[in-house]
Structure 1
Amino acid sequence: MVQIEQIFPSLTWRIRHEAMYPDKPFDFVKLPDDFDGIHFGLYADHILTGVVSLFPKNDVYQFRKLAILPHAQKQGYGAKLIEYLLDFCKIQKATRLWCNARVNAKEFYHKFGFIATQDTFLKDGYDFVIMEIILNKEEPTSSEGI
């Protein structure tokens, strides 16, 4: 059984640490703006197994620190969190969702419609690319046939 719900920021830290930066100090995974974000936890059989953090700025949302515990990776949990984020952002009327994706995860995000931009950078020993998806596009109105 899988359930996703909003969680308190500090609940994300252990998962981030174990999944993303296990060889760094624990405080390394804490973001300065964590308490300004919206955080989601994926519970597999009632155990917190994955997290993602969302940071809105007007109608543009950035997600950060998508992390699944190592023993639970490759089971579709990351995909469930991305699908949840996409639905959440559409409900919130976001126009764009973006992330700093590790280059080796580019194909994962591409499956959901994210497009790689030309913006790339190196941070903490990893290559990143900014990826984005356009949401809630306004449908053009036509006066033809009236």
Structure 2
Amino acid sequence: MNYEIRQITTQELLPLRQKVLKPFLRVEECEVDGDYLHSTFHFGLYTDGKLASIATFVQEAHPNFPAKLSYRLRGMATHDAHQGQGLGGKLLTYGENFLRGRGCDFLWFNARIKAFPFYERLGFAYYGPLFDIKDIGPHKVMYKSLIPR
């Protein structure tokens, strides 16, 4: 499958974020803290000219993990028609390499239960207990060191 990954704007990714992650909200309600910061990076993976997968990386430390430069993954989503094709993994790996190249040594996020296997396959580990996010459901913190081995 041919694909292209490129940096995109918040406005470009919001419709897919809403469709996949928060269909109970209006598109404009799907912005997250940090979407418009200069240090935030949004990436989109396109197939046949259409946005298939998105990921947002916000510079944010996790209070329980010391790191030189931490980023938090927000709003990772792949369109239903493209799930299970490996596109999300390609996009997340691209984002990790991009951040590593800018000195990031730690990536973390809150993962939904249904996404646990996806993130485990990409080498992410769990931290702490299961917790609930209102209107969305149970989550766990997942993380990965980006320091080259």
What do the CA deviations read for 1:11-66 (whole angstroms, capped 9, x no partner)? Answer: 11001011112232223311242101210011111111111100124610111100
- Is 1:43 the equivalent of 2:54? no
Q: How does 1:118-129 map to 2 (within 5 A)?
A: 118-123=128-133, 124-129=135-140
Q: Could you tell me which runs of 5 or more consecutive residues in structure 1 were left unpaired when the two chains were aligned.
A: 140-146
Instruction: Give the Cα–Cα distance (whole angstroms) in 1 for the partners of residues 75 and 44 of structure 2.
Output: 12
TM-score, reference length from structure 1: 0.87
What do the CA deviations read for 1:70-126 (whole angstroms, capped 9, x no partner)? Answer: 122111111111111121121112111111100221121111111000143211231
Structure 1 segments (4+ residues) deviating >6 Å: none
Partner SS for 2:74: strand
Q: Could you tell me which runs of 5 or more consecutive residues in structure 2 were left unpaired when the two chains were aligned.
A: 61-67
Partner SS for 1:35: coil
Instruction: Give the Cα–Cα distance (whole angstroms) in 2 for the partners of residues 64 and 119 of structure 1.
Output: 19
Identical pairs, percent? 28
Matched to 2:138, the amino acid is: D
Aligned to 1:54: 57
Instruction: Select between 98-107 and 24-33 the one with higher mean Cα deviation.
Output: 24-33
Match of 2:84 among 74, 87, 94: 74
TM-score, reference length from structure 2: 0.85
Aligned to 2:103: 93
- RMSD, matched Cα: 1.6
